[in-house]
Amino acid sequence: VAWAGSRHAVEVADRMARLVASDPVFRKDTRTMLSRKELFKDTLKKAAHAWKRIVELRLTEEEANLLRLYVDQPGYVDLHWGMFVPAIKGQGTEEQQKKWLPMAYKFQIIGCYAQTELGHGSNVQGLETTATFDPSTDEFVMHSPTLTSSKWWPGGLGKASTHAVVYARLITEGKDYGIHGFIVQLRSLDDHSPLPGVTLGDIGGKFGSGAYNSMDNGVLRFDHVRIPRDQMLMRLSQVTREGKYVHSDVPKQLLYGTMVYVRQTIVADASKALSRAVCIAVRYSAIRKQFGSQDGGPETQVLNYKTQQSRLFPLLASAYAYRFVGQWLKWLYTDVNQKLEAKDYSTLPEAHACTAGLKSVTTSATADAIEECRKLCGGHGYLNSSGLPELFAVYVPACTYEGDNVVLLLQVARFLMKTVSQVAAGKQPVGTIAYMGNIQHLMQCKSAVNTAEDWLNPAAIKEVFEARALRMAVNCAQNISKAPSQEEGFSELSPDLLEAAVAHVQLIIVTKFIEKLQEDIPGPGVKEQLQKLCSIYALHLLHKHLGDFLSTGCVTARQGALANELLGKLYAQVRPNAVALVDAFDYTDHYLGSVLGRYDGDVYPALY
């Protein structure tokens, strides 16, 4: 229940997972053996069948989303529901929503989200596709002026979509007004052939077998394609019949709500992907045996080895940590929306930095962790039947999409530098950055930890994580101020700024884990187990980044050694409950998709 969030969530997730697992159409155990073409057909079949079941069983939106989650195969529907519909909802006028959404809801049109170009990813302002208004016909002319302006990557674009929200430079009255969204029909609703002037294609194979190869990531070029003026998404700004560019009275900050929402789902996905990998690795480590005791007795379960524990249990702890910070982000999303409605934009920069940082840190760590889990399964982890190669290949794009992780961390760093200077000017920061207000204490405090067990105290943990994050930020700010200009300093110090940003984000995750454990946690002994995981999460970070803690002077070498000593004890205490802690994820064998992670532990006959 602590994992799922509520009894209701447990029940509905369980019901949808079993519905998918028991339906032969949703089988996926041969997926990695299919050719690209067979795989794409299989995706179409599953999407159609899922839609049929959703309609037949009159599933709620929550149930439908879960069903699609457990089908566990990337496909055009993800973009239709996850990007196309929300873009129209968020950026379309009421009129536009009334016109387009019913068609989308009934799948009369299939939509995708065409932003990224061959030569332009992170730098959205650099997109080259143009939408030039022609007042003589009341139309926009969509055009791809260069090779690098070709739309490249959008999922669902290659084969499935009939429509797209296309981002392009709006040009009217000879002036470039920057990037705006347009609803563009791409294919005929009669025979699905590309419309005149539209060139479409699939961009080819991607990492792994199975994985994202079920998705038709595509390429799109326009040769002077004309669309009616009212297909520009006009909630925030319009072009009039005469060609005048005007802003509406809707504040553009409203878009932030969507961004917080999308990033919250990405953090939730990180905990899902990580927990699947950890579940497989923990279960198989409890089955697999290697090396005997000295006296030639039976071999030892791999999970009993300290080296296995010290690599695996921090990942188990991370899965829970990301889960809880994801739950908190759900709350933040509600909070941000309420404030937006009240036209209070004061917390937006903080919410933006916080979600950007969490997206970056959790997805990077999860990608690495899935691969580490694969290695922790020994040679058999390399077989597709272990499920781990596909899980890795399908997960890693999360480090790049919706904001490259390094670019996002630099945004966090920029926010930190701004906050440092505001604090110096006497302003009191709020939210996840509030600790910086405590600058007098945090700049000179020294940890009072004296025994290994002192590190069990959440306050002791919080203090050193706060001091480390703040001191790293302040160090960067001081070094930047020595540079000829702010921009030059920021650029020169950007590798250090990345580290400061990571320190800040790790603090947020640790803090939210600690706060979660101040709530009631149902189930006997559950809270105690989670407290151990929380300590493991924080202390393994302290050990891994010991250089930060020592060089900023908030921890001594001896205190660092005590933390390490406690970690060893905590691993031993978690060991007896490790399998129960992954069973708590309540994943079906279908969803796990791994012979090594089978619930019944009957691994070797299944492999053979």
Tell me the window of 264-272, 456-464, 485-493, 523-531 that interacts with its own copies (CB under 8 A): 485-493
Q: How far is the CB of 470 from its own copies (least distance, A)?
A: 16
Are 324 and 516 contacting, i.e. CB atoms less than 8 angstroms apart? yes
By CB under 8 A, residue 126 contacts its own copies: yes
By CB under 8 A, residue 378 contacts its own copies: yes
Q: What residue numbers does the annotated binding site for FAD cover?
A: 116, 155
By CB under 8 A, residue 290 contacts its own copies: yes
Considering only 379, 426, 484, 524, the residue that binds its own copies (CB under 8 A) is 379
436 to 465, contacts with its own copies by CB under 8 A? Answer: none
Cβ proximity to its own copies, 378 vs 431, nearer residue:
378
Q: What's the rounded Cα separation, in Å, for the pair 313 and 100?
A: 48
By CB under 8 A, residue 550 contacts its own copies: yes
Q: How far is the CB of 116 from its own copies (least distance, A)?
A: 7
Cβ proximity to its own copies, 311 vs 339, nearer residue:
311
Considering only 16, 59, 200, 393, the residue that binds its own copies (CB under 8 A) is 393
Nearest Cα residue to 515 out of 563, 461, 564, 555: 461
Supply the DSSP string of 287-354, one letter for each residue: H-EEEE-TTS-SEEEGGGSHHHHHHHHHHHHHHHHHHHHHHHHHHHHHHHHHHHHTT--TTHHHHHHH
Q: What's the rounded Cα separation, in Å, for the pair 19 and 53?
A: 10
User: In Å, what is the CA distance from 524 to each residue of 320, 400, 517, 520, 576?
Assistant: 18, 41, 14, 11, 16
C-alpha dihedral, 36 to 39 to 44 to 47, nearest 10°? -140
Q: What residue numbers does the annotated binding site cover?
A: 116, 155
Q: What's the rounded Cα separation, in Å, for the pair 365 and 60?
A: 33
Tell me the window of 1-9, 64-72, 186-194, 561-569 that interacts with its own copies (CB under 8 A): 561-569
163 to 222, contacts with its own copies by CB under 8 A? Answer: 203-209, 212-213, 219
Q: How far is the CB of 289 from its own copies (least distance, A)?
A: 8
CA distance from start to end of the chain? 36
Considering only 404, 454, 515, 586, the residue that binds its own copies (CB under 8 A) is 404
By CB under 8 A, residue 89 contacts its own copies: no
By CB under 8 A, residue 307 contacts its own copies: yes
Cβ proximity to its own copies, 219 vs 452, nearer residue:
219
Give the type of residue at 164. A
User: In Å, what is the CA distance from 462 to each residue of 327, 509, 530?
Assistant: 20, 11, 17
By CB under 8 A, residue 568 contacts its own copies: yes
How many residues bind its own copies, per CB under 8 A?
85
Residues marked active site are found at: 402
Measured in degrees and rounded to the nearest 5, phi and psi for residue 177 equal: -95, 10
By CB under 8 A, residue 6 contacts its own copies: no
Cβ proximity to its own copies, 33 vs 195, nearer residue:
33
By CB under 8 A, residue 118 contacts its own copies: yes
Q: How far is the CB of 514 from its own copies (least distance, A)?
A: 23
226 to 285, contacts with its own copies by CB under 8 A? Answer: none
Cβ proximity to its own copies, 3 vs 153, nearer residue:
153
Which single residue is written with the structure tokens 């690495």?
Answer: 368
Nearest Cα residue to 397 out of 271, 585, 258, 208: 208
By CB under 8 A, residue 41 contacts its own copies: no
Considering only 24, 35, 106, 249, the residue that binds its own copies (CB under 8 A) is 35
484 contacts: CB under 8 Å, gap ≥ 6: none
Cβ proximity to its own copies, 375 vs 427, nearer residue:
375
384 contacts: CB under 8 Å, gap ≥ 6: 32, 33, 209, 210, 390
For residue 129, give both structure tokens: 């596709």
Cβ proximity to its own copies, 227 vs 410, nearer residue:
410
| Cβ atoms < 10 Å from Cβ of 494 | 14
Cβ proximity to its own copies, 33 vs 580, nearer residue:
33
For residue 145, give both structure tokens: 């002026």
Please list, residue by residue across 337-376, b when 16 or more beta carbons sit within 10 angstroms of its beta carbon and e when fewer do: bebbeeeeeebbbbbbbbbbbbbbbbbbbbbebbbbbbeb
Considering only 86, 305, 335, 347, the residue that binds its own copies (CB under 8 A) is 305
Considering only 242, 547, 580, 599, the residue that binds its own copies (CB under 8 A) is 547
Considering only 3, 40, 133, 153, the residue that binds its own copies (CB under 8 A) is 153
By CB under 8 A, residue 387 contacts its own copies: no
Q: What's the rounded Cα separation, in Å, for the pair 232 and 479?
A: 46
Q: How far is the CB of 589 from its own copies (least distance, A)?
A: 18
